[in-house]
Amino acid sequence: MAVLGALVAGTTFIGATPAAATLNCPGSDQDPSDSWMGWDATHTPADISGAYAYGAECWDGTNGHRIYAKAHLEDSASDGLSACLQIHADYSDGGTRDNWLYIGGKGNLTFQLYSYASNVRTIWVREGVGSGGVCTRMAGGVEVVGR
């Protein structure tokens, strides 16, 4: 599935929505285990210089049949820009959801866990860079990481 779209430069992103439920996926700490499907945006259409994003996703069949996604984002360049990550979900009812991670300072890392309803169809990610809490340049493509 090719998902293309333009992000309006200068859009401000407000904090992410973390998962609140208790996970039943084995290895549900911050390190992916065998039951988590890992992903890495490096060397994909979702990759951009200055950001390093990776994570994993898991289906929890006992907790409302939710999909969990964890994302790690690192600012990987000393260029005065910060790294950002868009995590986008499409649902079977036509709904969509976007979450954003943002971190500045080379070597700094942030982590977030997200919870999605069982009717999620596709989850994709895309790296970007910007400054002052604003992503101004995004990778030209996306990487499907879930479902």
User: pLDDT by residue (tens digit) across 131-145?
Assistant: 998 999 999 999 999
Task: For residue 12, tell me if it sits in a domain.
Answer: no
Taking 80 as the threshold, does the pLDDT of residue 31 lie above it?
Answer: no
Angle of CA points 116, 34, 62, to nearest 5°: 40
Check which CATH number belongs to the domain holding 85 and give it: 2.60.40
Indicate whether 21 belongs to any domain: no
Please say if the pLDDT value at position 110 is more than 60.
yes
Report DSSP state, residue 147.
-
Q: Which bin fits 105, alpha (ψ -120 to 50), beta or left (φ > 0)?
A: left
**Statement: residue 4 has pLDDT above 60:** no
Residue 62 lies in a domain: yes
Contact between 17 and 87 (Cβ < 8 Å)? no
Residue 94, domain extent: 37-146
Contact yes or no for 92/52 (Cβ under 8 A): no
- Residue 25 falls within a domain, yes or no? no
- pLDDT of 146 higher than 90: no
